[in-house]
Chain A
Amino acid sequence: MAAGHSDHYDVIVVGAGVVGLSCAWRTAERGLRVLVIERARPGAGASNVAAGMLAPVGEATWGEDRLLDLALESHRLWPRFAEELAAAAGGEIGYLDLGALHVALDRDEAAELRRRFELMRSLDLEADWARPRACRELEPGLGSVTAGVHAPHETAVDPRSLIVALAAAFEAAGGRLEVAEVTAAVLDRERFAGVRTQDGREHRARATVLAAGSWSAAEWLPAEARPSIRPVKGQILTLRGPASEPVCERIVVGERVYLVPREDGRLIVGATIEEQGFDTRITAGGVHELLREAYRALPDVAELELVEANAGLRPTTPDNLPLIGAGEVAGLLLATGHYRNGILLAPVTAERIAEMLESGHPEPVAEVAAR
Chain B
Amino acid sequence: MEAALHASGTEIVTVALRRVDPAAQGSMVELIERLGLFALPNTAGCYTARDAVRAARLAREAFETDWVKLEVIGDDRTLLPDAVELLAATETLVDDGFTVLPYTNDDPVLARRLEDAGCAAVMPLGSPIGSGAGIRNPYNLRIIVEAATVPVILDAGIGTASDAALAMELGCDGVLLASSVSRAADPARMAAAMRGAVEAGYEARRAGRIPRRLHAAASTPDEGLPDLG
Seen from chain A, the residues whose Cβ lies within 8 Å of a Cβ on chain B are 62-63, 119, 217, 228-231, 274-279, 316, 318
B19 partner, pick from A63, A231, A274, beta carbons under 8 A: A274
Question: B interface, by DSSP: helix, strand, loop or mixed?
Answer: loop
On whether the beta carbons of B185 and A230 are closer than 8 Å, the reply is no
Residue of A nearest to B188 (CB): A63
Task: Give the complex CA separation of A276 and B184 in angstroms.
Answer: 25
Quote the shortest CB–CB distance from B69 to chain A (angstroms).
18
Quote the shortest CB–CB distance from A242 to chain B (angstroms).
33
Besides the contacts A230-B25, A230-B27, what 13 more A-B pairs have beta carbons closer than 8 Å?
A63-B185, A63-B187, A119-B185, A229-B26, A230-B26, A275-B21, A276-B19, A276-B20, A277-B24, A277-B25, A277-B27, A278-B24, A318-B31
Quote the shortest CB–CB distance from B30 to chain A (angstroms).
9
Residues of A within 8 A of B186 (CB): 62-63
Knowing A62-B185, A274-B19, say if A230 contacts B24 (CB, 8 Å): yes
Quote the shortest CB–CB distance from B33 to chain A (angstroms).
14
B25 partner, pick from A63, A119, A217, A274, beta carbons under 8 A: A217
Question: A interface, by DSSP: helix, strand, loop or mixed?
Answer: loop
Quote the shortest CB–CB distance from A111 to chain B (angstroms).
10
Q: Counting CB contacts under 8 A, is B222 at the interface? A: no
A-B contact pairs, 5 of them (CB 8 A): A62-B186, A119-B185, A277-B27, A278-B24, A279-B21
B27 partner, pick from A62, A217, A229, A275, beta carbons under 8 A: A275
Q: Counting CB contacts under 8 A, is B227 at the interface? A: no
On whether the beta carbons of B24 and A217 are closer than 8 Å, the reply is no
Residues of B within 8 A of A231 (CB): 24
On whether the beta carbons of B2 and A277 are closer than 8 Å, the reply is no
Residue of A nearest to B27 (CB): A275
On whether the beta carbons of A275 and B19 are closer than 8 Å, the reply is yes
B21, B26, B187 pick with most chain A CB within 10 angstroms: B26
Quote the shortest CB–CB distance from A108 to chain B (angstroms).
8
Quote the shortest CB–CB distance from A279 to chain B (angstroms).
7
Complex interface bits, B1-32 against A, C-beta within 8 A gives 1, otherwise 0: 01000000000000000011101111110010
B2, B19, B20, B21 pick with most chain A CB within 10 angstroms: B21
Residue of A nearest to B24 (CB): A277
Task: Give the complex CA separation of A228 and B25 in angstroms.
Answer: 9
Quote the shortest CB–CB distance from B61 to chain A (angstroms).
16
Residue of B nearest to A277 (CB): B24
Residue of A nearest to B23 (CB): A277
Residues of A within 8 A of B187 (CB): 63
Residue of B nearest to A62 (CB): B185
Residues of A within 8 A of B2 (CB): 318
Task: Give the complex CA separation of A145 and B167 in angstroms.
Answer: 36
7 interchain residue pairs of minimum CB distance: A277-B24, A230-B26, A62-B185, A277-B21, A275-B20, A276-B21, A275-B27
Residues of A within 8 A of B31 (CB): 318
Quote the shortest CB–CB distance from B187 to chain A (angstroms).
7
Residue of B nearest to A112 (CB): B183
Residue of B nearest to A292 (CB): B76
Residues of A within 8 A of B19 (CB): 274-276
A275 partner, pick from B24, B184, B185, beta carbons under 8 A: B24
A63, A230, A274, A275 pick with most chain B CB within 10 angstroms: A275
